[in-house]
Amino acid sequence: MPPDIKPGQVQLVGAGPGSADLLTLRAVRAVEAAQALLFDALISEEVLAIAPPGCVRIQTGKRAGKASMDQGEINRLMLLLARRGLRVVRLKGGDPSIFGRSGEERDFLERHGVAVEVIPGVTAASAAAAQFAFPLTHREEARRVIFATARVRDGAVVEGGWQAGADPETTLALYMARDAARLVSDRLIAEGRCGDTPALAVENAGAPHARLLSATLSNLADVVEAAAPTGPVLLVIGDVAARARGYAVQGDTPDIIARRAGL
């Protein structure tokens, strides 16, 4: 047994965007040694195959728009398994610390005397940037990145934070955004972000079957709705989006496309 994996401990492990070769070495070792594996709905079979024979495997759901196990039930299940002396791995897509509820789970387990280790993973925005050859920051174009959820409440986007996203030197990476593109784009434009700002919608970021949709902020919702994606969608809004390999919007000339590609 690796010395940093202890019975009765829970490891919150980032599985990255799906491909097993994007797992960290520490994440692989944790999954290889797991005696109980609680995994999210988007974890690939390739990653699950790393777990040893005899490992208890429990699918917890946690996919946007789908029925899933209640967070309280997940917490109690991790506690029960840890108290039985098992090496417990809670396997999450992307990075546990970016919209992965790692804080809630750590707080609960530590309140009940269970040791917790967090093992980071590649988050969807980083995976999309690498896969489609655009940076998240770029000198004189994007000085900062905001990771946010495209949350809606009762048919309206939540209040707060939109002015920061309207800054033209900010790259905005919006997670869980498939059904919120119109509300998001309308709100950002209302806050002053230019409608011509390049934008991307990336479905299944990091996976071999990932799909890139090119748009501007003003037509982003139309592009997403026409494509009808069924997988998880990340929105990337900012000038760096125009650097994505294959970025092209309706009305672009070959000269514009070549210039964006640096040709």
The domain ranges of the chain are 10-119, 124-260
Could you confirm whether 62 is annotated as catalytic? Answer: yes
Whether domain 10-119 has CATH 3.30.420.40: the reply is: no
| pLDDT tens, residue order, the chain (263 aa) | 444 556 679 999 999 998 999 999 999 999 999 999 999 988 999 999 999 999 999 999 755 555 578 999 999 999 999 999 999 999 999 999 999 999 999 999 999 999 999 999 999 999 999 999 999 999 989 999 999 987 666 555 666 678 888 899 999 999 998 898 999 999 999 999 999 999 999 999 998 899 999 999 999 999 999 999 999 999 999 999 999 998 887 655 455 545 444 44
Among 40, 78, 92, 95, the one annotated catalytic: 40
According to the model, what pLDDT value does residue 249 have? 77
According to the model, what pLDDT value does residue 260 have? 45
According to the model, what pLDDT value does residue 253 have? 47
Is the Cα dihedral 172, 219, 224, 186 positive or negative?
positive
- H helices within the chain, ranges in order? 25-32, 45-48, 71-83, 102-111, 124-131, 162-165, 181-190, 220-227, 254-260
DSSP letter for each residue of 51-104 = SPTT-EEEEEE--TTS----HHHHHHHHHHHHHTT--EEEEESB-TTTTS-HHH
Could you confirm whether 176 is annotated as catalytic? Answer: yes
According to the model, what pLDDT value does residue 62 have? 56
Among 62, 78, 92, 95, the one annotated catalytic: 62
Could you confirm whether 107 is annotated as catalytic? Answer: no
Nearest to 2 by CA among 11, 158, 41: 11
Among 78, 92, 176, 239, the one annotated catalytic: 176
**Amino acid of residue 209:** H
Q: For residue 33, what are the β-bridge partners? A: none
CATH entry, 124-260, from 3.30.950.10, 1.10.10.10, 3.40.50.720, 3.90.190.20:
3.30.950.10
Q: What global pTM score does this model have?
A: 0.86
According to the model, what pLDDT value does residue 63 have? 56
